[in-house]
């Protein structure tokens, strides 16, 4: 029996290369199960909020590891094993993936704000898609884990660092950064999100200059994201946001299209986020990183024997979840079951392709799966509904939701499998906790979505712009015949797609890549506005300043490389802490204001 905080490897594996396995579930302590379940629910909720706010979400693997260390230390003294942390990462990532998928599903609320299907049915739908997506991921695990998967590799490195014993009195640097920056995010988020005036700005609110929407966002969440994604994304977002008042509005002023600025901006953003993004993936594949194992890891040291009943259990689960998706899809979207079956069948090879892309580029093009479903299979829906009908558009989105969710879960699972491969974890146990995390994520995410949309609104002009959902909604309406563009708008879409595809090459070509603003950032910036984009841009600038400070004029060589790696790790940890704490606290503040309202305390959520 292992001492508290020093568990044996899951499945009974030792560190000598023995054969282990044989069980479906890992031998986690009940408190570990509880902590991972809570974190999966929190990350699902946080991902909904951030994805609807700025179009960017994170499954939370790094935060899951750090928070697990902090919380486990409270309830179980000592360091958890690297395998325990890997299982926590996998389970929490599953919840985060479902949160991202539910945020994309919110596109139906843009088309029809009063849309309110049964929450239990929605939970069944997303839980089933999460489990089926995880099974898709597990079918290609052996081949996929050998590719680089930068995020999965980074998590393995962090887990190894955290679980390495430190000298007496020495500080655990990653956990320390989590506590410091999480505390700072908490203090700054409260005055940004709360106000004493119903429908008013927060006590601390965005600074605006002039009448053209120019301003600086003050939400710490923006700066946390900027620290994580870096200056290229921040510059891209700022350029995209500035193009609205200083390009589109000026270009259309005094023309017959002056009243259609919003449509022009939306479709220009869609043009940026579709064909050029496909081009980026193709070009990135040309310059992919070789599949290497980082120093200090010995994958394959333990041979895990899968349970004898695994094939039967997975087969039954695949059938049950597929039937559940078909039934729930019909209940929610009025989508025929056979359309759901086709969406599942098409999503499978797309998930594999997406996993291969993510393995080389760290790009999970989940939205592109939805666009493929919408543009390639719209004919399955159009014959059943009147042209331009909201009902048809919602049924169309049903296909996108099924394909997009399966892709999101499967590819995120491949990242977790990569981490598990490096730390020599039991893949069956990873799959099992992925199932659990998906169900928990669905149970948590659906009520949170309804609460957020009810309190803050959704779409253009609301507190939750939902840029990704705007793209899905516009594509679905267009495929249903509800889009009647002018000749000038069509020309704009064509030219943006062509020029954007050319620019996409420059963003990944090693000679120019480090200097080119992110094309994805440009498209998102056009939809979320200047204050938000400016805040993320400043976060990216802060990353540059910190990196320059860490390197301190060191000449090229091992010492400078070590400083660059430390700067990258520290800014990533600080940014991820601010991002996660800011998002979770924002949601908790909504519950707080609801509670205070019952006691007539004049504190409200800011708008």
Let me know: does 554 contact 241? Beta carbons within 8 Å: no
Please report the pLDDT score of residue 556 as a whole number. 85
pLDDT band at 19; cut points 50, 70, 90? low
Supply φ then ψ for residue 574, to 5 degrees: -65, -45
Please report the pLDDT score of residue 452 as a whole number. 92
CA distance 572 to 231: 13
Q: Which residue from 189, 191, 218, 192 is spatially nearest to 535, judged by alpha carbons?
A: 218
Indicate the average pLDDT of the chain: 85
Sign of the CA dihedral with 203 first, then 208, 213, and 216 last = negative
Residue whose token pair is 């491949």: 414
Q: Residue 555: which residues within 8 A CB-CB, separation 6 or more? A: none
Render pLDDT for 577-600 as a digit per residue (tens, 0 to 9): 888 888 889 999 998 998 998 888
**55 or 334: whose pLDDT is higher?**
334
Render pLDDT for 130-171 as a digit per residue (tens, 0 to 9): 999 999 888 888 878 877 776 787 788 778 877 777 777 777
Let me know: does 503 contact 531? Beta carbons within 8 Å: no
Q: Residue 305: which residues within 8 A CB-CB, separation 6 or more? A: 19, 20, 21, 22
What's the whole-number mean pLDDT along residues 49-77? 77
Q: Residue 405: which residues within 8 A CB-CB, separation 6 or more? A: 98, 101, 104, 105, 126, 129, 130, 133
CA distance 481 to 175: 53
Q: Give, to the nearest 10 degrees, the angle between helix 558-597 and helix 61-75.
A: 70
Domain residue limits, the chain:
27-180+306-479, 204-282+483-605
Q: Residue 466: which residues within 8 A CB-CB, separation 6 or more? A: 51, 52, 55, 103, 106, 107, 110, 458, 459
CA distance 36 to 177: 21
Let me know: does 68 contact 80? Beta carbons within 8 Å: yes
Supply φ then ψ for residue 437, to 5 degrees: -65, -35
CA distance 182 to 578: 5
**332 or 576: whose pLDDT is higher?**
332
Please report the pLDDT score of residue 5 as a whole number. 33
Let me know: does 232 contact 263? Beta carbons within 8 Å: no
CA distance 257 to 528: 22
End-to-end CA distance of the chain: 54
Q: Residue 601: which residues within 8 A CB-CB, separation 6 or more? A: none
Please report the pLDDT score of residue 57 as a whole number. 66
Q: Quick one: 278 exposed, middle or buried, by C-beta within 10 A (0-12, 13-18, 19+)?
A: middle
* Residue 505 in tokens: 């090459």
Say which DSSP state 11 is in.
G
CA distance 215 to 223: 15
pLDDT band at 552; cut points 50, 70, 90? confident
Say which DSSP state 516 is in.
S
Name the strand (E) or helix (H) holding 215.
Answer: strand 214-216
pLDDT band at 558; cut points 50, 70, 90? confident
CA distance 537 to 54: 13
Let me know: does 219 contact 192? Beta carbons within 8 Å: yes
CA distance 590 to 451: 9
What's the whole-number mean pLDDT along residues 61-80? 76
Of the given ranges (49-63, 174-188, 455-469, 491-505), which has the lowest mean pLDDT? 49-63
322 vs 120, 124, 134, 439, CA distance in Å? 17, 11, 13, 15
Render pLDDT for 374-401 as a digit per residue (tens, 0 to 9): 767 777 788 788 888 888 899 989 988 9
Please report the pLDDT score of residue 55 as a whole number. 79
Say which DSSP state 23 is in.
-
Is the pLDDT at 109 greater than 80? The verdict is: yes
Name the strand (E) or helix (H) holding 234.
Answer: helix 231-243
Q: Residue 598: which residues within 8 A CB-CB, separation 6 or more? A: none
Let me know: does 582 contact 219? Beta carbons within 8 Å: yes
What's the whole-number mean pLDDT along residues 85-103? 91
Radius of gyration of the chain measured on its C-alpha atoms: 24
Q: Give CA torsion, residues 154, 29, 129, 45, to 10 deg.
A: -70
Is the pLDDT at 7 greater than 50? The verdict is: no
Please report the pLDDT score of residue 4 as a whole number. 32
Let me know: does 346 contact 377? Beta carbons within 8 Å: yes
Please report the pLDDT score of residue 287 as a whole number. 76
Of the given ranges (206-210, 300-304, 437-441, 479-483), which has the lowest mean pLDDT? 479-483
pLDDT band at 357; cut points 50, 70, 90? low
CA distance 514 to 541: 14
Is the pLDDT at 453 greater than 50? The verdict is: yes
This prediction's pTM: 0.85
Highest-confidence range of 235-249, 360-374, 396-410, by mean pLDDT?
235-249
Q: What percent of the chain has pLDDT over 90?
A: 35
**481 or 59: whose pLDDT is higher?**
481
Q: Residue 553: which residues within 8 A CB-CB, separation 6 or more? A: none
């Amino acid at each position: 029996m292992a001492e508290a905080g020093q568990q044996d490897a899951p499945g009974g594996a030792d560190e000598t290369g023995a054969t282990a396995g044989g069980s479906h579930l890992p031998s986690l302590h009940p408190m570990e199960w509880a902590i991972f379940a809570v974190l999966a629910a929190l990350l699902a909720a946080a991902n909904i909020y951030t994805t609807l706010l700025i179009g960017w979400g994170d499954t939370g693997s790094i935060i899951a590891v750090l928070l697990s260390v902090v919380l486990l230390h409270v309830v179980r003294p000592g360091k958890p094993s690297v395998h325990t942390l890997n299982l926590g990462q996998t389970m929490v990532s599953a919840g985060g993936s479902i949160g991202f998928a539910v945020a994309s599903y919110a596109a139906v609320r843009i088309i029809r704000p009063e849309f309110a299907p049964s929450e239990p049915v929605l939970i069944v739908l997303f839980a089933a898609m999460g489990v089926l997506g995880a099974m898709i991921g597990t079918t290609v695990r052996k081949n996929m884990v050998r590719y680089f998967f930068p995020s999965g590799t980074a998590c393995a490195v962090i887990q190894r660092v955290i679980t390495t014993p430190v000298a007496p009195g020495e500080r655990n640097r990653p956990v320390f950064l989590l506590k410091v920056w999480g505390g700072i995010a908490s203090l700054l988020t409260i005055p940004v999100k709360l106000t004493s005036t119903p429908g008013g700005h927060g006590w601390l609110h965005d600074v605006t200059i002039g009448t053209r929407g120019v301003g600086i966002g003050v939400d710490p969440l923006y700066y946390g994201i900027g620290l994580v994604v870096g200056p290229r994304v921040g510059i891209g977002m700022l350029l995209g946001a500035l193009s609205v008042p200083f390009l589109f509005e000026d270009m259309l002023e005094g023309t017959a299209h002056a009243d259609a600025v919003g449509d022009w901006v939306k479709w220009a953003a869609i043009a940026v986020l579709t064909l050029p993004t496909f081009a980026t993936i193709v070009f990135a594949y040309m310059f992919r990183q070789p599949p290497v194992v980082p120093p200090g890891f010995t994958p394959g040291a333990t041979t895990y024997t899968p349970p004898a009943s695994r094939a039967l259990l997975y087969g039954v689960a695949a059938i049950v979840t597929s039937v559940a998706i078909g039934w729930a899809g019909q209940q929610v979207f009025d989508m025929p079951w056979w359309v759901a079956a086709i969406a599942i069948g098409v999503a499978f090879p797309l998930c594999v392709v997406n996993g291969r892309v993510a393995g080389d580029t760290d790009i999970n093009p989940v939205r592109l799966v939805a666009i493929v479903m919408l543009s390639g299979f719209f004919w399955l829906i159009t014959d059943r509904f009147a042209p331009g009908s909201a009902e048809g558009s919602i049924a169309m989105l049903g296909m996108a939701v099924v394909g997009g969710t399966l892709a999101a879960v499967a590819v995120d699972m491949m990242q977790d499998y990569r981490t598990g491969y490096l730390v020599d974890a039991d893949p069956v146990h990873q799959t099992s906790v992925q199932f659990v995390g998906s169900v928990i994520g669905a149970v948590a995410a659906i009520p949170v979505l309804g609460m957020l949309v009810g309190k803050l609104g959704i779409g253009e002009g609301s507190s939750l712009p939902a840029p990704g959902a705007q793209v899905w909604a516009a594509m679905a309406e267009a495929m249903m015949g509800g889009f009647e563009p002018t000749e000038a708008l069509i020309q704009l879409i064509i030219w943006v797609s062509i020029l954007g595809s050319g620019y996409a090459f420059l963003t990944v070509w090693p000679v120019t890549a480090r200097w080119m603003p992110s094309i994805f950032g440009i498209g998102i910036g056009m939809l979320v506005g200047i204050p938000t984009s400016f805040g993320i841009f400043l976060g990216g600038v802060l990353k540059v300043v910190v990196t320059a400070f860490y390197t301190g004029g060191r000449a090229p060589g091992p010492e400078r490389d070590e400083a660059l790696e430390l700067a990258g790790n520290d800014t990533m940890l600080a940014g991820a802490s601010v991002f996660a704490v800011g998002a979770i606290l924002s949601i908790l503040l909504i519950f707080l204001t609801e509670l205070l309202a019952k006691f007539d305390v004049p504190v409200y959520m800011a708008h």
